Amino acid sequence: MLERIEYLAHLSVARACGFAALGILTFFIGMSADLVAAFKSSGYLSMMACAVLLLKAGFARRQSYRNTEVWIMLKPEERPSAGIAQQVISRVLRDAYLRFARQAAILTALFLASSAVVAIAGI
């Protein structure tokens, strides 16, 4: 049961991050005429995504388990009892948010470092 909840939490957060990444990529391509500005603005956008994920992780314990996508995706027979559902789902979601926030932070660093390299290289 716990493996299924972890899988669904990962899927839920990954889907949301995928849509954010698609938006950032589209923005990057739109700004590609000026590579420094494209890398820098994409870095700031991914930093905002990281901040949102950190906020979501911070509020995960306060969100009702019944209002999560994980709960909705679970089949009725897979759902834990109400007594432990809040603890399990909020902890698993918090871990998933933090995992993806770490990846967004790495992406932010790569974008901003690329911006500096391109600016120094004069491309």
Give the sign of the dihedral formed by CA 21, CA 48, CA 4, CA 64. negative
Please enumerate, as own/partner, the contacts of 14-22 that have beta carbons within 8 Å and a separation of 24 or more.
Answer: 14/100, 17/49, 17/53, 17/100, 17/103, 17/104, 20/49, 21/49
Helices (H), ranges, 31-123: 35-59, 69-73, 82-121
Range of the domain at 54: 2-121
Give the global pTM: 0.91
Q: Which two tokens stand for residue 71?
A: 């709960």
Contact 45, 29 (CB under 8 A): no
Domain count, the chain: 1
Q: What is the pLDDT of residues 44-78, one digit of tens each?
A: 999 999 999 999 999 999 999 999 999 999 999 99
pLDDT tens sequence across 63-122: 999 999 999 999 999 999 888 999 999 999 999 999 999 999 999 999 999 999 999 998
